[in-house]
Every structure is written in C-alpha cells, then in structure tokens.
C-alpha cells in the first residue's frame, strides 16, 4: 500500500512541477534590448592619415557625415597628409569618415572609416578600414559589436605562425612585444 501512495505522491509532484514550469513559459515576453545611443558630448577633433596602397596621401577631400549622409565637417588634404576634423557636440554615432581623391571621383575610389566610439579620436582611413566598414554593414549596421566582429575577421595570421592549438612560439616576440 505504501508503494502505491508513494507512486501517487511522485506523480502529483511531477504534474505540479510540469504545470509550474509551463506557466513560466507564459510569462511576459522579454523586452527587446535597446541599443544605447552614444554621442559626442563636446566638440571633438577626429584625426589621422589617409593611406592608399600602403602610403599616406596628401591630396584629396576628407568628410565626416552622420549615418544619414548629413555633412558634419570636411577638409582638403592640400596642406599635408594628416586630416583633422571637428565633430560637433551632440553628434550621435556612427560618424562616417569619407576620403575622396578628387571632388568628382567615382564612389569606387572612396575610402571610409567609421567612428562608433566617441572617446576614440585617431582613425586612419584605408582600404582595410573600408573593408571592415563594409563587413560591419553586412552584419547589420555600424555598431561597436559589428565593427569588432568585422575587424577580427579581417586579421590574418600566416599559417606558418599557427598550429592546430593556436600560435607557435613566443607571441610577445613574434607580434611586436606587447608585454
């Protein structure tokens, strides 16, 4: 008789547990994660080099625009190979930095870099920064996480420097001494 009562109690516990667990599934749907809007809190200078085919260039036009294409700042590189743009306070990220060799150059000749973090002010504009921006856009847009994923996917380590377990040798000596 005890065995029958034990089985009934166990069955009741299992049923109660399953009802409680299924009720958990009926709770409110989780709210979507709201992406925090980052913006420049004060006028900020963004600067760097434009690098074409491995060399800094000293001619052309560099523009900063918001994601919608609104012009924020621009400068000509006629005075040297560094650009320096002032991004107005309250500008929301992302800010797209565009380099054009000449005013009427086709878009295929343009290079871009994307600013997603207002605290970082040094950006070189190159074929690599353009590729990273393109990959981030394909991943869903110019967010910090997409830019990081895109940048990580663009880094190549030669096969001679890898093993199936990872890097070979002392990485502090192979890759520039970062200790």
How is 133-145 classified by DSSP, letter by letter?
A: HHHHHHTTSS-HH
Length of the chain: 179
Domain-located, residue 145: no
User: What is the span of the domain harbouring residue 85?
Assistant: 44-126
For the chain (179 residues), the mean pLDDT of every run of 10, in chain order, is 57 52 50 62 95 91 94 88 94 95 72 94 94 93 91 71 49 44
Domain-located, residue 147: no
Instruction: Pull the structure tokens for residue 10.
Output: 């166990």
Residue 109 is predicted with a pLDDT of 78
Residue 34 is predicted with a pLDDT of 45
Beta-carbon contacts of residue 49 (< 8 Å; ≥ 6 apart)? 56, 81, 82, 83, 124, 125
Domain-located, residue 160: no
Domain-located, residue 10: no
Q: How many domains does the chain have?
A: 1
Residue 165 is predicted with a pLDDT of 47
Residue 78 is predicted with a pLDDT of 79
Q: Is the peptide bond before 83 cis (omega within 30 degrees of 0)?
A: no
The β-bridge partners of 65 are 71, 96
Domain-located, residue 121: yes
- Could you count the other beta carbons within 10 Å of the beta carbon of residue 157? 11
Domain-located, residue 54: yes
**For residue 107, what are the CA distances in angstroms to 78, 102, 141?**
20, 11, 19
Q: What is the CATH number of the domain that holds 64?
A: 2.60.40.10
Domain-located, residue 109: yes
């Amino acid at each position: 008789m005890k065995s029958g009562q034990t089985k009934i109690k166990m069955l009741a516990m299992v049923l109660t547990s399953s009802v409680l667990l299924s009720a958990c599934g009926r709770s409110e749907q989780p709210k979507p994660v709201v992406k925090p809007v980052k913006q420049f809190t004060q006028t900020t200078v963004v600067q760097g080099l434009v690098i074409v085919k491995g060399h800094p260039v000293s001619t052309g036009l560099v523009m900063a625009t918001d994601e919608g294409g609104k012009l924020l700042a621009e400068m000509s590189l006629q005075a040297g190979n560094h650009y320096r743009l002032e991004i107005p306070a309250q500008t929301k990220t992302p800010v797209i930095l565009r380099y054009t060799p000449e005013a009427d150059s086709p878009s295929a000749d343009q290079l871009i870099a994307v600013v997603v973090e207002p605290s970082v002010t040094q950006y070189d504009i190159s074929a690599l920064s353009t590729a990273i921006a393109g990959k981030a856009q394909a991943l869903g847009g110019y967010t910090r996480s997409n830019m990081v994923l895109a940048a990580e996917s663009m880094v190549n380590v030669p096969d001679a420097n890898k093993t199936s377990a990872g890097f070979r040798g002392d990485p502090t000596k192979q890759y520039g001494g970062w200790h």
